[in-house]
Structure 1
């Protein structure tokens, strides 16, 4: 529930009950105005923006009181008219600053003030921060835009089409034997694989390899460790200079998997959280320790070839992997039909190849409904993680090559030893 400053100050029913809204409006206007003042514009700066925002708030309040919607429209036209006023001489960087930017910023400030006057204060403040960020980061955004080649923009358009045009059109229901083929779910995997590769390409371009790799590993672990492993194994195979980057991203993503499963347990089956922690924490701890030791040893090695970024054009590989995913889904449904609930471990063994979350969420829901004891839950999740790790190692070896696979193998082994050791310890309790 949002914090009500008016109630805290006991302003309700007093002449000052609108004071919090007016102060919020001034604050948003000042935030944008400070950034514009740095441009030394004669059109609008640190005084004009707060006044324009305050005008929007006052007119919105009058509109609510008088019921005359024309007041807000008249105010908007008046602010737009400021764009026709003459502007003083500019110098330095300001000579390249389009005047339309300040005019649009004034219109946004007025609109944000109106939103505050109509009661949408939290959203208006958030949009004010975003607006100021866009204005302030012009050099960085312009520099990044100029570095994008034509095929980069085509990749962005391709990803947008895959995500926002094709994906919503696909039916989210099962077809075929056992209703195992779900077009929406299969295409979502295509979107994830393409999206992970594209996000990694953009992040390394913007942040550099040292900053980008930990961020990519963390985000990849939250989204899909399988897709992340596939994308960066392919990158390592096509670009020898990306071996170190690919190794760090893949290993960090697979360590984040343990954290993700722990968070899912806390959210869905909190009573199983401690038991899950006993198997997730040792696996993640030993894996991170191995990554740390390997990275320290790697510092003494000869320098790797320089990283050369290439835009990841991996739609064909994503489609092929999605087809494999659909086949595994069918096999999982077939085994479940053969063995029923008693074959839960067999289902975990097969379904864990392509998706740890699906079987994990299933057993967590069964546990929360008291239909499954804790220890079978832990065993099922451990089998799924183990199977998924073996499958990902096979992907890395077959696509990324022997060198990348050997870089990843010690961390995978130690993480699985830690997880299985935790499972053994949990069975003793």
Structure 2
């Protein structure tokens, strides 16, 4: 890198910027040529040379007077006028209304001030975005067809929850009993909703026809408990026992990742202290997944392998958020009372009890709490809540699923439960 820097020092800075403008403009022109290669040349505004010359023109007019920018702005007006004339003729002759090429031409003209005034990473990001957006036209069109009437309302809800309501809330505790501020309370809702929303988008737009295993992975990011129930019920229809069982274990594996991400966001110290335990959980889970997927093959009656998770239809549903908010406040009150009356022993017992509900509100209370808990107490409580939740999922899987998935679920969750108790004991003592 030092030798490269020394070589570049021999060249005037303006010459390097000129080469960058020419190169980037040429790349954009080549991409346009490739993108419109099947169209007649007379219908095009321009391709390789035209876009390169537009970039060079922008450079020349900018460098003439980079302070007042009169020449550059005048050239921009002329280029815009020419593009408007071309667009009018395009509509009249070819009856085509697309103007992507015209906008890209204007971006090409603006490369010079961008290179002079902004960081290199931003310039490259603009170039990459232009090239990618142009090339994925068909994919974007296919994605837009998947949007329903409520899709943008869901997006608007998320933006309002994260970008409008959250910044307006005060960051002072609600009361001595509820030692959490409205800001921290709402931040917990935003964090959980964000992970759920990403999982929802992946399921609907990236992997719409996901098979059983991928369903377990994506569903685990949303809710491993809900995914376990749905997959277990589907086992009676599909009878893909090895896939169903491994998908349920995969959903639980993703639970560890989700909890780690929440910990990393709210309590970085605890997040890193959870890493050794979570690595053990994930490693053992993946070994179980591999074993049952490869070697557990009961008789099959259906091999379609397509599953739809109905409960994953709207990650920002008002009722879901309301239940989460209620549980968050409830666990905040209960945890404070238990800590005051019974100390850390009571918190450990409570962590086992909450496993039969949604553990995220309880765990987020721990991550954000201002109680004087030692880190070992917080880590043990998280591990205990996970362990009891795994017990609940095992019961759900056995109760709702086909008999053929009981053995792998009992073995898998049994190992994870024992492992959770062992890790909690080691952390505490």
Which TM-score applies when normalising by structure 2?
0.72
- 3-state SS of the aligned residue for 1:9? helix
1:76 matched residue in structure 2:
76
2:338 matched residue in structure 1:
335
- How far is 1:140 from its partner? 0.5
CA distance in 1, matches of 2:391, 2:82: 63
Describe the shift of the 1:115–1:138 C-alpha distance in structure 2 as closer, same or farther (beyond 3 A). same
1:37 matched residue in structure 2:
33
Equivalent residues in 2 for 1:254-293 (5 A)?
Answer: 254-256=255-257, 268=269, 278-293=276-291
Residue 233 of structure 2 contacts residue 401 of structure 2 at CA under 8 Å; is this kept in 1? no
Residue 332 of structure 1 contacts residue 351 of structure 1 at CA under 8 Å; is this kept in 2? no
2:40 matched residue in structure 1:
none
CA distance in 2, matches of 1:231, 1:192: 19
- 3-state SS of the aligned residue for 1:36? helix
1:118 matched residue in structure 2:
117
CA distance in 1, matches of 2:353, 2:318: 25
1:318 matched residue in structure 2:
321
- How far is 1:151 from its partner? 3.0
Structure 2 gaps, min length 5: 38-42
Residue 253 of structure 2 contacts residue 281 of structure 2 at CA under 8 Å; is this kept in 1? no
Residue 116 of structure 1 contacts residue 124 of structure 1 at CA under 8 Å; is this kept in 2? yes
Equivalent residues in 2 for 1:160-199 (5 A)?
Answer: 160-199=159-198
Describe the superposition over 1:61-96 as per-residue Cα deviations: whole angstroms up to 9, x where unpaired.
4444xx213233223323322313447999xxxx79
1:229 matched residue in structure 2:
224
Describe the superposition over 1:47-69 as per-residue Cα deviations: whole angstroms up to 9, x where unpaired.
233333344445444444xx213
Describe the shift of the 1:168–1:264 C-alpha distance in structure 2 as closer, same or farther (beyond 3 A). closer
- How far is 1:101 from its partner? 0.7
- How far is 1:145 from its partner? 0.5
Equivalent residues in 2 for 1:102-251 (5 A)?
Answer: 102-208=101-207, 228-229=223-224, 232=227, 244=244, 247=248, 250-251=251-252
- How far is 1:176 from its partner? 2.9
Describe the shift of the 1:26–1:344 C-alpha distance in structure 2 as closer, same or farther (beyond 3 A). farther
Residue 230 of structure 1 contacts residue 396 of structure 1 at CA under 8 Å; is this kept in 2? no
Describe the superposition over 1:93-135 as per-residue Cα deviations: whole angstroms up to 9, x where unpaired.
xx79744111111122223332102243220111211121111
- How far is 1:136 from its partner? 0.7
CA distance in 2, matches of 1:60, 1:5: 31
Structure 1 gaps, min length 5: none
CA distance in 1, matches of 2:211, 2:191: 18
- How far is 1:230 from its partner? 5.7
Match for residue 400 of structure 2 among 371, 377, 402: 402
- RMSD over aligned CA atoms reads 4.8
CA distance in 2, matches of 1:399, 1:167: 37
Describe the superposition over 1:159-205 as per-residue Cα deviations: whole angstroms up to 9, x where unpaired.
33333333333333321343434333333444455544443343223
Describe the superposition over 1:231-260 as per-residue Cα deviations: whole angstroms up to 9, x where unpaired.
646866998889959736622312435865
- How far is 1:281 from its partner? 3.1
Residue 30 of structure 1 contacts residue 49 of structure 1 at CA under 8 Å; is this kept in 2? yes
Residue 172 of structure 2 contacts residue 181 of structure 2 at CA under 8 Å; is this kept in 1? yes
CA distance in 2, matches of 1:300, 1:57: 70
CA distance in 2, matches of 1:24, 1:215: 43
Residue 280 of structure 1 contacts residue 422 of structure 1 at CA under 8 Å; is this kept in 2? no
- How far is 1:418 from its partner? 3.5
- How far is 1:343 from its partner? 7.7
Describe the shift of the 1:136–1:309 C-alpha distance in structure 2 as closer, same or farther (beyond 3 A). farther
Describe the shift of the 1:287–1:346 C-alpha distance in structure 2 as closer, same or farther (beyond 3 A). same
- 3-state SS of the aligned residue for 1:68? coil
Which TM-score applies when normalising by structure 1?
0.72
